[in-house]
Amino acid sequence: MNQDHLVAELKRLAVKAPDGVASNVLVGTGIVDGYVRRSSVLGDLLVAFGTNGVTAVELAGDPGGFVATYEQRFGKRAVPVDRVPPVIARHLDTAIVAGRPGRLPVDLDRLTEFQAAVLRAAATIPRGEVRPYGWVAKEIGRPGAVRAVGSALASNPVPVIIPCHRVVRADGTFGDYSLGDPSNKRRLLVAEGLDVAAFEERAAHGVRFTGSDTTGVFCHPTCRHARRTGVGHRVEFASEDEARAAGYRPCKVCRPVAA
- Which residues are catalytic, by number? 164
Q: Are 158 and 56 contacting, i.e. CB atoms less than 8 angstroms apart?
A: yes
Identity of the amino acid at 85: P
User: At 123, phi and psi to the nearest 5?
Assistant: -70, -15
Q: For residue 131, list its beta bridge partners.
A: 167
Cβ(221)–Cβ(128) below 8 Å: no
What residues contact 158, with CB distance under 8 A and at least 6 apart? 54, 55, 56, 57, 106, 119
Strands 167-168 and 131-132: parallel
User: End-to-end CA distance of the chain, in Å?
Assistant: 82
Are 162 and 143 contacting, i.e. CB atoms less than 8 angstroms apart? no
In the β-sheet with 78-80, what is the strand arrangement from edge to edge? 53-59, 45-50, 33-38, 78-80
